Structure 1
């Protein structure tokens, strides 16, 4: 399954969160996972680019806690800001949109503005 995290597309699937890992994280609520995501992005607003492995784990946790969700945006105003200032948003996108975004990413054409226009619409108007 494809998962959009900010402006990066990740492959998440059952093999990434299976067995012991899945059981270990079953106790975490969705709210806790969101809070953790806000803390991570408050520290580094470009986490999805600077630490893709950690970002992939976050994407897996989100998808595991809320099946069907396949897009998340954690908008942090500045590096090392308060986690309360990070604005999380979530979406369920059609597979075709995710595939288009993945293709753009492979060609080096997926950035925050492109992802925003395609999904979030925060910069519109």
Structure 2
């Protein structure tokens, strides 16, 4: 399964980003808690999806595991070390062809925040 986190596409079908023990521990976490965790992570480091791809992939896995219909998430933080409440999370389900196109662009280094926004979020459209 491909998962878009901000402007990086992760392949969640590759080796599981958590150990079986952690996966069992994470079973108790609800989606609301995972979203709150994502907001905290991105409030500390708005570019976490680029600076710490291992942690970002784990977050993407948690979101997808809690809500399998979601395959794209955006955590928009206004500044580094901002309050987690200021991080704006968004989620959506994208068709497989769109995800493959985004993955192809990402592999070629042509998927930027602006491109991902144009294709998925439309926040900068105005």
TM-score (norm 2): 0.95
Distance in structure 2 (CA, Å) of the matches to 1:83 and 1:18: 27
Distance in structure 2 (CA, Å) of the matches to 1:40 and 1:49: 13
Distance 1:79 1:91, change over 3 A: same
- Per the TM alignment, residue 55 of structure 1 is displaced from its structure 2 partner at its CA by 0.1
2:31 is the alignment partner of 1:27: no
Distance 1:111 1:100, change over 3 A: same
Aligned residue number for residue 87 of structure 1: 88
State the Cα deviation string for residues 84-119 of structure 1 (Å, max 9, x = none). Answer: 000000000001101101111111100000000000
Aligned residue number for residue 125 of structure 2: 124
- Per the TM alignment, residue 18 of structure 1 is displaced from its structure 2 partner at its CA by 7.0
| Runs of 4+ with >3 A deviation | none
State the Cα deviation string for residues 67-93 of structure 1 (Å, max 9, x = none). Answer: 111000000000000000000000000
> For the Cα contact (< 8 Å) 1:13–1:60, is it kept in 2?
no
The count of corresponding residues between Structure 1 and Structure 2 is 125
TM-score (norm 1): 0.95
Aligned residue number for residue 4 of structure 1: 4
In structure 2, list runs of 5 or more residues that go unmatched. Answer: none
